[in-house]
Each structure stands twice: as C-alpha cells, then as structure tokens.
Amino acid sequence: MFNNSTILVTGGTGSFGHVFIPMILKQFNPKKVIIFSRDEMKQWQMAKTYVNDSRVRFFIGDVRDKDRLYRALDGVDYVVHAAATKIVPTAEYNPHECIKTNVIGAMNLIEACIDKKVKRCVALSTDKASSPINLYGATKLASDKVFVAANSYSGEAGTKFAVVRYGNVLGSRGSVIPFFLQQKEVGTLTITDTRMTRFMITLDQGVELVWTAFEDMVGGEIYVKKIPSMKVEDIARTIAPEAKIEIIGIRPGEKLHEQMIGFEDAPYTYEYDGYFKILPPIHGWGDDPSRIKDGAKVSEDFIYSSESNNEWMSSEDLNAWVENFYSAMIKI
C-alpha cells in the first residue's frame, strides 16, 4: 500500500522516525515521506541524510496546532503518529504540557485526518498506558481511547485508526541503555529497584508492528508485540559488569513492572503469530469476525506483564544487540 503513496510521520525526527524513514524508503517506493515535527535543528540535522532523496520532505509544525496539521496533511494517504511528551518525570512536573501534546494533539490529528480524507492512521502507544499510574501513561491511555473511538465518526471519509503498543525501546532517546552507557564511564550505575523488570523491543521490531497494523487493521484495534522481558539490574550488569550498582529508589510515577495488556482487556484480546490484538468493546467490535480473523481468544484471566512474561532476553542477546547497534551508529 505504501508504493506511490504519501506518508506523514508526526514527531518524525525522534528515535522511531530515524529507523522508520530509511526502512520504508528501502523496502517500498513511496511517492513522498513527510517528517512533521517542531524542532527545526533536528530537522536540519536529519535532512542532511536525505539531501539526495527528493521523496523525503520536512514540515515544521506542532500537533497542538490544528491549522498547521490541516496544511501538512494535504494529499497525505497514511499517517504514523509518533509525536509525544514521553519522559515520565517531565510529565509529572509539567502536566499541562503533557496533556496538550498527548491528548489534545491526538484529538487535533484525528479531526485533521478525517477532514483531509487520510486513508489510515496508526498511533504509537506504550506499555505505560495499561493500568497507568503516571501522567504520561494516563495521557497515552486517553490517546489510545480517542484513536479507537475515532473509527465511530470518520463518516464518509472512511479514515481508519489503530494503535500499536510496545515496551522499552532498545537504544531510543531517554531509554535506559544509553543512560547506563554514559554512567559506565564513571564506574557507577544507578537503578531504582533490583526487582524491576521491563519489556524489551528493538526499533526495527516496532516499525514492523506498525506495518502489520496498517495492513491488518479494520479500525479500532490495539496491536501488542510479543517481546521478551529483562530485569533492569541484569541490563545494568550486562552493560557494565565491573561497575558499582547504586540503588536510588523508584522515581515519581515509575512502576516496578510494566504491563501491556491488563485482565480487564482479556475478554477482547486475541493472540496471533508474533503479537496480540485488543479489540474495542464499543459497538460490538470486540466480537467482529472481520477484526478477529484467525486470532485465538486469550484466557479470561490473561495479563501480559513484564514480570510474568514467558520470554526473557539473555545477557548474550543484549550484548549482541548493543554491539551491532552502536557499530551501525559509528558508521552513520
């Protein structure tokens, strides 16, 4: 569907965009890929990579600005919504700003997509949106609900909306691995709790889940990638085995373990090869065969949580990923 199509990525200068853009240009032949973001310096730096590719365009704008979204979406076929305020402590201390971007921004994008007759839109979510305890998670849960419900009123435009949800992205900005690599230089790594676990996913896997959503969606689905877990302490000891570990306690709004599917969602959750799919309970969509397809319904007490996960990442696998990732970064 991406061949000869125009795709726009909100927040496209972030970690996701830096992987999504080259992957889509390599594997497909889009007519145009538009990076929509508010930071001119990040756009200027990113543009250097695509100076010889006329398919890549840059558009300064903010999802808080609905009028700017209307202009950016003119002639766009598909949208990936990656723009967000996502650092947990920042959101806790700046709640108004987090809500403006993550909730109001989502509402603005939905209305603009419908009015501009965009075909499909996939929004990126987070494990923190499942049973949230912090503001970031709460705003992303609200955003997820808004995107799901948007399928109710897309009207004659026929715009379809879906959500993808995944955990800690290896190597992404603000994530734990770059943080530990910095601390490794001083010989002391800080972790909040030795029991803490997190889901682990690569950006490539995240991009592939977005493609799955675009291809499979009927509208209103939340796609959850099957990914391994790892203890944060084990991540630290893998990154810097000789370093001292200092326990600093859980930060405001931080969970001991993350979950991507709570038991409340179990009645509407189906399992597939490589991912789960949460169907919306509204309008009877949770029982819609066109959305279920070949999925197998999970048990009534099903919970997909990082501490009870069936799959765990080994130190060897993490080491191999770190070496490959940073070797590639050096070549860039």
Instruction: Encode pLDDT of 3-26 as tens digits.
Output: 999 999 999 999 899 999 999 999
Mean pLDDT of 138-157: 95
pLDDT, residue 298, reads 97
**What is the average pLDDT score of the chain?**
93
pLDDT category of residue 328 using cuts at 50, 70 and 90: low
* pLDDT at 181 > cutoff 90: no
pLDDT, residue 99, reads 98
Query: Is-contact 285 279, C-beta < 8 A?
Result: yes
Strand 120-124 and strand 78-81: the pairing is parallel
Whether 140 is catalytic is no
User: Which residues pair with residue 312 across a beta bridge?
Assistant: 229
- Per-state percent for the chain, helix, strand, coil, to nearest 5: 45, 20, 35
Q: Dihedral (C-alpha) 42, 48, 53, 54: value to the nearest 10 degrees? A: 60
* pLDDT at 110 > cutoff 50: yes
Burial of 24 (0-12, 13-18, 19+ CB in 10 A): buried
Give the whole-angstrom CA distance, residue 244 versus residue 187. Answer: 6
Task: Taking the CA atoms of 130, 132, 137 and 139 in sequence, report the sign of the dihedral they define.
Answer: positive
Query: Is-contact 137 92, C-beta < 8 A?
Result: no
pLDDT, residue 324, reads 74
pLDDT, residue 172, reads 73
* pLDDT at 327 > cutoff 90: no
Fold category of 6-167+201-226+259-305 in CATH: Rossmann fold (3.40.50)
Q: Let me know how long the chain is.
A: 332
pLDDT category of residue 321 using cuts at 50, 70 and 90: confident
* pLDDT at 331 > cutoff 60: no
pLDDT, residue 332, reads 39
Mean pLDDT of 97-111: 98
Residue holding tokens 């032949």?
Answer: 29
pLDDT, residue 156, reads 87
pLDDT, residue 189, reads 93
Mean pLDDT of 237-261: 90
* pLDDT at 70 > cutoff 50: yes
pLDDT, residue 330, reads 41
pLDDT, residue 177, reads 82
7's CB contacts (< 8 A; 6+ apart) are 24, 30, 32, 33, 34, 76, 77, 78, 79, 80
Mean pLDDT of 297-312: 95
How many percent of the chain have pLDDT more than 70? 97
Query: Is-contact 219 161, C-beta < 8 A?
Result: yes
Enter the pTM of the model: 0.93
pLDDT, residue 51, reads 93
pLDDT, residue 168, reads 78
Q: Which residue is catalytic, options 42, 86, 116, 128?
A: 128
The two three-digit tokens of residue 283, written as one number: 């309008």
pLDDT tens digit sequence for 74-101: 999 999 999 999 888 899 999 999 999 9
